[in-house]
Amino acid sequence: MPDRSGIPKNTKPGDCLKAGKNTEHEIVACTDPDAIQRITHVFTDMTMAAFNARMSNGGDICPEGERTTAYSEGDDNAKATVYCLAWAATAVASQHAKAEADDVSSPAVDFYQTAKVNDCVTGDTYTDYKVVPCADATAAWKITKKTVATRAELDSESPDNSRCAQNEVMVSHWSSEHSEAQADVFCLVRTR
């Protein structure tokens, strides 16, 4: 049975996954031509709060080049299961990796992956953000906070319990429509 991230709960390091129905994955042999991802690590000894703290401000749990994903059945103090995923050695995985690399090379995704607290930003509200020197005439925003959240977490928060101050704008970007897809969430304050 899959967890809320779509990964089967009995997945262990060395298993490979292929896309299943909806957003679920299926365990397959790593030689299966439909294998897309390989599980390299599974961590079960941290809470969601600890996971979010390690992932905030550009941190990570998995080695560079691997995707980090996590899920928990409860609140921030509940135990989380964290997976490190690498691309499988198949043609279909190579196609997915290329498509993801093309997405990552877009300016919007690049901003969300590389921006840090105290960076200055140009762009219109919610679109076309780009980090620029703070002395740049186009700098219109400053990043005051960076956290990690799932789509479901943000959708469940009430507007009056925002992650950002009242005078700030909250922006985020997901690479997946899945409710447990994780994203960096930024708080931006106007500088001009």
Query: What is the residue-wise DSSP string for 161-183?
Result: G-SS-TTEEEEE--S--STT-EE
Q: What is the DSSP string of 57-126?
A: GG--SSPTTSEEEEEESSSTTSEEEEEEEEE-SSHHHHHHHHHHHHHHTSHHHHHHHH--TT-EEESSTT
| Residue segments in the chain with a per-residue pLDDT below the cut of 70 | 1-5, 21-23, 57-58, 75-76, 99-109, 124-127, 155-161, 174-181
Q: In angstroms, how far is CA 12 from the centroid of its own chain? A: 21
Q: What is the pLDDT of residues 5-60, one digit of tens each?
A: 678 888 899 999 987 765 678 899 999 999 999 999 998 888 888 888 887 766 78
Q: What is the pLDDT of residue 33?
A: 93
Structural domain boundaries of the chain?
24-135, 139-191
pTM of the model: 0.53
CA dist 55 and 50 (Å) reads: 9
